C-alpha cells in the first residue's frame, strides 16, 4: 500500500468526516443484499484486461466513487477484488494488502515525520490525502464506468470473505490512524513544551546577563576602591618616609634675601654626624702628624744619629704611623658612607619632587579615565607630561598613563605642532610589539588641552634611577642590559619600515618587575623611508635629543646631516661605557649648553678608558666600535650585533 493510501485513509478517519462509516455500511449492504441476484454471476464474468486494478488504492477509488451509483453498479464492485485475490493466491505481490507491508509503510511514514516537524507533516499529510482523494475519485470513476460495462463473475461467498477481510483491514487502519494521531498529539505537546522551555531559557539568559553586568559594575567598584585604598596607603607611607628621611638626610629650606625668596638644600643629621666625625679624625690626624714631626725634630736636633736605634723612639714612630693608618681607614669608611648618603639624598630629592608634582597635579584624585583606566599614583613628570601608574579595569592589569598637557597659553600653531608630534610618536610606537620595547596600548583625548597615551607598566626602575643609585654596574650586569637594548634595536631594524630611536639614554630604558629591559619614548624617532640610500636620511630635528648620547654627525652645522641606525649604535656605546665606568665618555661633567658651546662631541675623536674598574678587552673593543667617530666607518645595528660580546647568548 502506498503512502498516499495511508494518507488518504488517515484523512478519512477523521471523526469529523462522517462519510466513511456510511460508505462502509453501504458497501456491506451491497455485498450482502445483491450478490445472489447479480446478473454478472448468472451470465458469467468476463475479465476486462484493459482495466488496471492493482492494489487497494484503486479499490478505494472505485468503492468511494461508487457511492453515488449503488443502484446499477454495485454488483460490479467486488469484481476487481476477486481478480486481485486471485493474483495474490497466484503469488503476485505487487499490491500491498498485508498488515506487514502496511506496517512497513506506516513505520516509514513515522520515520519521515520524525524528521520533519509534527505540525508540518500533519498538514502535508492532510493536504496530500485530499489531493490523492480527488485523483483517486477521478480514476475510480473511470474504473467503475468500465466495470459497469463488464459482466460480473464472482460468487457471493467469495464476496463475503473479501468484504470481511476489507472490513478487518479498514478497522486495522482506523487503529493505526488513532495511534498516529495520538503520537502526533504527543509531538505537538513536546513541541509546545520545547517552545516554552526555550522561552524560559531565553529569559534566564537575559537575567544572567543583567546579573553579570551588575556584578561587573560591583567588581569594578570593589576593585577600584581597593586600588584607591592601597594607593592612599602608599601615598601616606611615601610622605612619612620623606619626613623621616628629611631629618636624617636633609630638607629644603627657604632663605629670604631682601625681597628674594630662594629654596636651598640643608643637609640632615647623618651628614652633620659624618662631617663631625671627619672633622675630629682630621684633628686627630693633625695631632698625630704634629707629634711625629716633633719626634723627627728631636731626632734631627740630636744630630749624631744615636737615637736611630733608640727603641723608644722607634716604638713611638711606629705608634704614630699606626695611628695615622687607622685614621685613614676610618676616614675612608666615613667618606664611603657619605657617598652612600649622597646617593640616598639624591633619591630623597627625586622622591620629594615626585610627591610635590603629585600634590600639584590635577589628576591626583583617583579619576577613572575613559571609563576604564583608574589613575593611581604619579610615577614621574617629564617635560610636558605626567606619568601615572593606573589600572586597566577592562584588561585587569596595571598600565602607565602618560598625560600629555598642551599649555593653554601656547599659540594655536604650537599646540598643533605638539599634537602632531605626539600622534606621530603614537603611530610609530603602536606598531611595535617586542619583548624589549614598551608596548603602547591606547590613546585618547581627555579635554581640549590634554590627551593620554596608555603604556605597558614597568614596575622596576629606569636605567637612570639604577645608575643614580649604583653608578657602576658589574660587567656581567652591564652586558645583560646592553644585549637586551641591542635586541630591541635589531627588531627596529629588521622591520619592513626601519626605525631610528634617536633618543637612547638611561631614562628611556625601563625595567619590568622581573628585570627585563625595555626601550621607550619614541618621541624623537625617525622612520627610515624606503628610498633612503646607504648614506642615511636627512636629520630635520637637529638640536633635539640629549647631547651626551648623540654622535658627531648630529652636530654637523655646515650641511643637513644624514643619519641612520648608526646614531643608535653610538648611543648604545655611550650607555655601555657609562654602566661600566660610572661616567659618560664625553662631556660627563658638562651641561648640554656647554657641550654645544665647546663642540665637545664634535671633538670626541677617541675614547679613553679609566684604569678602574677593570673591564674586559672584549667590552672595550665593542665600545670602541660603537664610538667610531666617522659615521661611514661605524657599523650599523645589524652589523654590530654580530659582535661576539653581544651575540654571546648564541653560544
Ligand atoms: N611605561 C612606564 N612604566 C613605568 N614607569 C614609567 C613608564 N613610562 C614612564 N615612566 C616613568 O615616568 C617618569 C616620567 O616619564 P617621562 O617619559 O615623561 O619622563 P622623561 O623621559 O623624563 O620626560 P621627557 O619625555 O619629557 O624627556 C619617569 O620616571 C619614568 O621612569
Question: 508-519 pLDDT, tens per residue?
Answer: 999 999 999 999
| pLDDT (mean) for 469-477 | 95
pLDDT at 560: 74
What is the average pLDDT value for the chain, to the nearest integer? 79
Measure the CA–CA gap between 627 and 550, rounded to whole angstroms: 10
**The predicted structure's pLDDT at residue 540:** 58
Which pLDDT value is given to residue 496? 84
- For the CA of 503, the closest atom of ligand 1 is 27
Tell me which of 4, 442, 462, 503 is the catalytic residue: 503
Minimum CA distance residue for ligand 1 atom 30 = 380
The confidence band for 23, taking pLDDT boundaries of 50, 70 and 90, is low
Residue 396: per-residue pLDDT: 94
pLDDT at 8 over 60: no
Closest CA to 232 of 365, 391, 352: 365
For residue 394, CA distances in Å to 41, 208, 223, 364, 534 come to 96, 20, 11, 21, 46
Lowest pLDDT segment from 331-335, 464-468, 485-489, 495-499: 495-499
What pLDDT was estimated at residue 299? Answer: 77
Tell me the CA–centroid distance for residue 461 and ligand 1, in Å: 10
pLDDT of residue 301: 74
In percent, how much of the chain has pLDDT > 90?
52
Euclidean distance between CA atoms 428 and 525, whole angstroms: 8
Closest C-alpha residue for ligand 1 atom 20: 382
Pairing state between β 368-369 and 250-257: unpaired
What are the φ/ψ torsions at residue 156 (nearest 5 degrees)? -65, -40
**Mean pLDDT across the stretch 601-608?**
92
Q: What letter would DSSP give residue 601?
A: T
Whether the predicted pLDDT of 264 surpasses 80: yes
Q: Which residue has the higher pLDDT, 528 or 308?
A: 528
Ligand 1 nearest-atom number relative to CA 456: 1
Task: Look at residue 11 in the predicted model and tell me its pLDDT.
Answer: 41
- Is pLDDT above 90 for 106? no
C-alpha–C-alpha distance, residues 624 and 609, integer Å: 10
pLDDT confidence band for 640 (50 / 70 / 90): very high
Ligand 1 centroid from CA 354, angstroms? 12
Mean pLDDT of 49-54: 38
pLDDT for residue 28 is more than 70:
no
Q: Measure the CA–CA gap between 563 and 552, rounded to whole angstroms.
A: 11
Binding-site annotation, residues: 402
Place 94 in a pLDDT band, splitting at 50, 70 and 90: very low
Give 20 Cα–ligand 1 centroid separation in angstroms.
95
Distance (angstroms) between ligand 1 centre and the Cα of 381 equals 7
DSSP, res 528 = -
Determine the pLDDT at residue 51.
37
* Predicted pLDDT of residue 534: 56
Question: Which residue CA neighbors atom 31 of ligand 1 most closely?
Answer: 462
What pLDDT is stored for residue 408 in this prediction?
78
Q: Which atom of ligand 1 is nearest to the CA of 508?
A: 21
Tell me the binding residues for ATP. Answer: 402
Q: Evaluate: CB of 385 within 6 angstroms of ligand 1.
A: yes
Query: CATH number of the domain at 368-456, please?
Result: 3.30.200.20
Ligand 1 centre to CA of 538 (Å) is 28
CA 2 to ligand 1 centroid distance, Å: 86
Site of grid cell 654637523: 556
Give the confidence band of 279 by pLDDT, cuts at 50, 70, 90: very high
Q: Is 457 in the pocket of ligand 1 (CB under 6 A)?
A: yes
Measure the CA–CA gap between 542 and 456, rounded to whole angstroms. 29
Q: Is the CB of 379 under 6 A from ligand 1?
A: yes
CATH superfamily of 466-641: Transferase(Phosphotransferase) domain 1 (1.10.510.10)
- Stronger pLDDT, 296 or 89, i.e. the higher one: 296
pLDDT, tens digit, for every residue of 157-175?
Answer: 777 888 899 999 999 999 9
Q: What is the pLDDT of residue 464?
A: 95
Q: What is the pLDDT of residue 136?
A: 38
Average pLDDT over residues 496-510: 93
Cell digits of residue 140:
475510480
Give the mean pLDDT of 490-499: 91
Banded model confidence at residue 536, pLDDT cuts 50, 70, 90: low
Ligand 1 atom nearest to 380, measured from its CA: 13
Instruction: Tell me how far CA of residue 33 lies from CA of 62, 66, 74, 199, 472, in angstroms.
Output: 19, 16, 10, 61, 128
Residue 22: per-residue pLDDT? 57
Q: Which residue has the higher pLDDT, 239 or 419?
A: 239
Predicted confidence at residue 406, as pLDDT, reads: 82
Q: Fold identical between 368-456 and 466-641?
A: no
Residue 19 confidence class, pLDDT cut points 50, 70, 90:
low
291-308 residue pLDDT tens: 999 988 887 777 655 556
Q: Is residue 623 in contact with ligand 1, taking CB distance under 6 Å?
A: no
Does 553 contact ligand 1 (Cβ within 6 A)? Answer: no
- Cβ–ligand 1 distance for 521 under 6 Å, the answer yes
With 70 as the cut, is the pLDDT of residue 331 above it?
yes
* 610 has a pLDDT exceeding 60: yes
Among 170-179, 257-266, 313-322, 420-429, the range scoring the smallest mean pLDDT is 420-429
Asked whether 503 lines ligand 1 (CB < 6 A), one says no
What ipTM describes this predicted complex?
0.96
Q: Inform me whether the pLDDT recorded for 154 exceeds 80.
A: no
390 lines ligand 1 (CB under 6 A): no
* pLDDT (0 to 100) of residue 158: 77
Whole-model pTM: value is: 0.67
Burial class of 578 by CB neighbour count within 10 A (0 to 12, 13 to 18, 19+): buried
| Annotation marks residue 503 as catalytic | yes
Question: Which pLDDT belongs to residue 384?
Answer: 82
Supply 644's cell numbers.
Answer: 661576539
Residue 91 has pLDDT above 80, yes or no: no
| 494 Cα: distance to centroid of ligand 1 (angstroms) | 26
With a 6 A CB cut-off, is 492 part of the ligand 1 pocket?
A: no
pLDDT at residue 421, rounded to an integer: 78
Among 373, 380, 456, 465, the mutation site with the greatest number of ligand 1 atoms within 8 A of its Cβ is: 380
Q: Which of 138, 174, 167 is nearest to 58 (CA)?
A: 138
Q: Which of 137-146, 165-174, 232-241 has the highest mean pLDDT?
A: 232-241
- Local confidence band at 420 (pLDDT 50, 70, 90 cut-offs): confident
**Is the confidence at residue 503, as pLDDT, over 50?**
yes
Q: Which residue has the higher pLDDT, 633 or 152?
A: 633
Query: Is 50 exceeded by the pLDDT of residue 53?
Result: no
Which residue, judged by its Cα, is nearest atom 5 of ligand 1? Answer: 458
Which residues are within 8 A (CB) of 303 and not within 5 positions of it... i.e. 6 or more apart? none
**What are the two backbone dihedrals, phi and then psi, of residue 368, each rounded to the nearest 5 degrees?**
-105, 115
Predicted pLDDT at 306: 56
Does residue 613 carry a pLDDT above 70?
A: yes
When pLDDT is cut at 50, 70 and 90, the band that residue 418 belongs to is confident
pLDDT above 60 (res 58): no
Better pLDDT: 411 or 335: 335
Average pLDDT over residues 37-62: 38
Can you give the residue ranges of every domain in the chain? 252-301+311-360, 368-456, 466-641
Ranked by mean pLDDT, the top range of 142-151, 549-558, 613-622 is 613-622
Distance in angstroms (rounded) separating the CA atoms of residues 127 and 7: 9
Confidence of residue 422 (pLDDT cuts 50, 70, 90): confident
**Alpha-carbon distance 467 to 380, whole Å?**
17
pLDDT at 75 over 70: no
Residues in the chain: 651
Amino acid at each position: 500500500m502506498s503512502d498516499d493510501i495511508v494518507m488518504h485513509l488517515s484523512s478519512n478517519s477523521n471523526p469529523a468526516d462522517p462519510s466513511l462509516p456510511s460508505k462502509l455500511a453501504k458497501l456491506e449492504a451491497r455485498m450482502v443484499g445483491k450478490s445472489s441476484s447479480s446478473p454478472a454471476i448468472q451470465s458469467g464474468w468476463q475479465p476486462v484486461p484493459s482495466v488496471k486494478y492493482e492494489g487497494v488504492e484503486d479499490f478505494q477509488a472505485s468503492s468511494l466513487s461508487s457511492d453515488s451509483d449503488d443502484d446499477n453498479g454495485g454488483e460490479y464492485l467486488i469484481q476487481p477484488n476477486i481478480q486481485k485475490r486471485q493474483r495474490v493466491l497466484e503469488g503476485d505481490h505487487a499490491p500491498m494488502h498485508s498488515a506487514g507491508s502496511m506496517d512497513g509503510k506506516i513505520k516509514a511514514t513515522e520515520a519521515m515525520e520524525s524528521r520533519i516537524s509534527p505540525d508540518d507533516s500533519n498538514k502535508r499529510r492532510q493536504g496530500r490525502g485530499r489531493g490523492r482523494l480527488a485523483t483517486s475519485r477521478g480514476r475510480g470513476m473511470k474504473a467503475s464506468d468500465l466495470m459497469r460495462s463488464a459482466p460480473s463473475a464472482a460468487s457471493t461467498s467469495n464476496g463475503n470473505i473479501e468484504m470481511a477481510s476489507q472490513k478487518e483491514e479498514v478497522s486495522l487502519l482506523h487503529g493505526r490512524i488513532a495511534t498516529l494521531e495520538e503520537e502526533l498529539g504527543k509531538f505537538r505537546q513536546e513541541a509546545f513544551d520545547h517552545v516554552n522551555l526555550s522561552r524560559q531559557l531565553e529569559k534566564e539568559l537575559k537575567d544572567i546577563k543583567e546579573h553579570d553586568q551588575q556584578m561587573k559594575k560591583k567588581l569594578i567598584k570593589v576593585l577600584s576602591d581597593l586600588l584607591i585604598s592601597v594607593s592612599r596607603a602608599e601615598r601616606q607611607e611615601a610622605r612619612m618616609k620623606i619626613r623621616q628621611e628629611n631629618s636624617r638626610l636633609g630638607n629644603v629650606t627657604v632663605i629670604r634675601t631682601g625681597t628674594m625668596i630662594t629654596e636651598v638644600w640643608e643637609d640632615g643629621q647623618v651628614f652633620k654626624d659624618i662631617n663631625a666625625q671627619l672633622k675630629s679624625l682630621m684633628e686627630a690626624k693633625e695631632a698625630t702628624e704634629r707629634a711625629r714631626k716633633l719626634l723627627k725634630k728631636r731626632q734631627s736636633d740630636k744630630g749624631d744619629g744615636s737615637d736611630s736605634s733608640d727603641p723608644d723612639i722607634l716604638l713611638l714612630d711606629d705608634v704614630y704611623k699606626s695611628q695615622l693608618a687607622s685614621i685613614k681607614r676610618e676616614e675612608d669608611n666615613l667618606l664611603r658612607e657619605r657617598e652612600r648618603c649622597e646617593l640616598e639624598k639624591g633619591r630623597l630629592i627625586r622622591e620629594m619632587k615626585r610627591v610635590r608634582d603629585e600634590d600639584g597635579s590635577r589628576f591626583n584624585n583617583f579619576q577613572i579615565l575613559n571609563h576604564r583606566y583608574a589613575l593611581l599614583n604619579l610615577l614621574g613628570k617629564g617635560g610636558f607630561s605626567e606619568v601615572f601608574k593606573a589600572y586597566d579595569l577592562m584588561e585587569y592589569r596595571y598600565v602607565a598613563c602618560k598625560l600629555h598637557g598642551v599649555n593653554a597659553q601656547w599659540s594655536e600653531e604650537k599646540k598643533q605642532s605638539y599634537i602632531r608630534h605626539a600622534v606621530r610618536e603614537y603611530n610609530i610606537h603602536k606598531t611595535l610589539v617586542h619583548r624589549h620595547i614598551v608596548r603602547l596600548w591606547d590613546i585618547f583625548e581627555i579635554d581640549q588641552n590634554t590627551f593620554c597615551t596608555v603604556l605597558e607598566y614597568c614596575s622596576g626602575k629606569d636605567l637612570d634611577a639604577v645608575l643614580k643609585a649604583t653608578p657602576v654596574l658589574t660587567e656581567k650586569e652591564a652586558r645583560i642590559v646592553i644585549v637586551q637594548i641591542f635586541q630591541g634595536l635589531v627588531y627596529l631594524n629588521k622591520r619592513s619600515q626601519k626605525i631610528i630611536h634617536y633618543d637612547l639614554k638611561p631614562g628611556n630604558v625601563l625595567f619590568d618587575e622581573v628585570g627585563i629591559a625595555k626601550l621607550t619614548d619614541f618621541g624623537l624617532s625617525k622612520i627610515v623611508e624606503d628610498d633612503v640610500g646607504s648614506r642615511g636620511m636627512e636629520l630635520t630635528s637637529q638640536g633635539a635629543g640629549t647631547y651626551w648620547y648623540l654622535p658627531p654627525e648630529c652636530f654637523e652645522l655646515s650641511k643637513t646631516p644624514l643619519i641612520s641606525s648608526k646614531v643608535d649604535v653610538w648611543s648604545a656605546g655611550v650607555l655601555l661605557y657609562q654602566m661600566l665606568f660610572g661616567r659618560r665618555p664625553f662631556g660627563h661633567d658638562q651641561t648640554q649648553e656647554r657641550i654645544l658651546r665647546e663642540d665637545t662631541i664634535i671633538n670626541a675623536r677617541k675614547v679613553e678608558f679609566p684604569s678602574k674598574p677593570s673591564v674586559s678587552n672584549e667590552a672595550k673593543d665593542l665600545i670602541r666600535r660603537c664610538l667610531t667617530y666617522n659615521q661611514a666607518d661605524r657599523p650599523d645595528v645589524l652589523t654590530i650585533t654580530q659582535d661576539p660580546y653581544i651575540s654571546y647568548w648564541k653560544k
